């Protein structure tokens, strides 16, 4: 975590004063900002001929955003899926 934040221009003294929660939150927000910057630059320079342009920064750079937790599958559906071999 420190290596990533140091690579983004933060200083050691600033990082040592932060709690682990603050460091994690800073890193997450910074990645979201980078994703938005990339999306914004691409949307300003894109050609009108591009058909499959992403609708949001999250679609453009999904690796920079945290994975959303979905709804857990009920047990009775898990059993059916296991029997079918889907899971």
The pTM for the full model equals 0.45
Query: pLDDT tens, position by position, for the chain (87 residues)?
Result: 777 777 777 777 777 777 778 888 888 888 888 777 777 777 666 655 666 767 777 777 777 777 777 788 888 888 888 888 776
Whether the CB-CB separation of 15 and 5 falls below 8 Å is answered with yes
Measured distance CA(78)–CA(24) in Å, rounded: 33
Q: Are 27 and 1 in contact (CB under 8 A)?
A: yes
CA separation for the pair 19, 74 (Å, rounded): 37
């Amino acid at each position: 975590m420190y290596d990533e934040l140091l690579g983004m221009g933060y200083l050691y003294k600033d990082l040592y004063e932060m709690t682990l929660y603050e460091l994690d939150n800073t890193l997450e927000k910074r990645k979201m900002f980078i994703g938005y910057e990339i999306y914004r630059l691409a949307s300003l320079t894109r050609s009108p001929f591009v058909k499959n342009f992403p609708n949001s920064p999250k679609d453009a750079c999904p690796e920079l955003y945290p994975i959303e937790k979905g709804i857990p599958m009920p047990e009775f559906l898990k059993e059916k899926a296991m029997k079918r071999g889907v899971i």
